[in-house]
Amino acid sequence: MVMPSGSVVAMDDGTITWRPRHEKQRSCRIESQASVMLGLMGPMGQIDRIVIGDVNGGVNIISLARMELADRFVISESPIRSLCSCSMSGESILAGCEDGGVYMLGPDVPGRTVGLFQLDGPASAIRVVGQSLHIQQGWERKIVDWTGESTTFETPSFKPSLALA
C-alpha cells in the first residue's frame, strides 16, 4: 500500500512492514498471511491505521505510529477478500469473504462482529454508496441493501467500437 508518507508491505510470513519516507522502517507480525489491506484516516487527515484481512478469516487493525496490533477480529474460516470502512471514524468495517459471507465488525458493533448476509460467491470488492452496498463479484457488480437484497443488478456492457479509416 503506497501513501504520500510511505508504504506498507505485507510479507508471506505475516510480517507487516511500515516504510515511512523520512524515518526508520518498523515491522510487526500478524497470525496469518495478509490477503487484503485498507488504510484508515485519522483526525489529522492522514492514514494512521491499517486494516489487514488474512487468509484464515481474521481482520487485524494495526496502529502505524506504534506498529502494534491494536485489535483482531476472527469472523470466518474463509479468507478475507475485501474490506471497506462503513463509518467516517473508521470504527466499523465491512469484510467480504471468499465463501461469500459479508460481515460488519468493530469495537462498537454488538458482539464485535455481525454476519450481514451470504452471497453466492466471493466478494472481491465492497463499498458503501449512500444506503446501499456495491459488491463486485468477478465481472458482476451487485447493488444490495444491508440485508443482501438486490436493489439494482449491473453487469459491464462492452460495446466494441470499430474505427474505419
2-120 CATH choice from 2.130.10.10, 3.40.50.2020, 3.40.50.300, 3.40.630.10: 2.130.10.10
Does the structure show a pLDDT above 70 at 154?
no
Q: Give residue 71's pLDDT.
A: 94
Residues 55-104 pLDDT 10s:
999 999 999 989 999 999 999 899 999 999 987 556 899 999 999 999 99
| Dist CA 76 CA 83 (whole Å) | 14
Q: Where are the domains of the chain?
A: 2-120
Residues 19-48 pLDDT 10s:
999 899 999 999 999 999 999 988 888 899
| 48 contacts: CB under 8 Å, gap ≥ 6 | 40, 41, 42, 63, 64, 65
Q: Give residue 150's pLDDT.
A: 83
* SS3 (DSSP) at 32: coil
| 22 contacts: CB under 8 Å, gap ≥ 6 | none
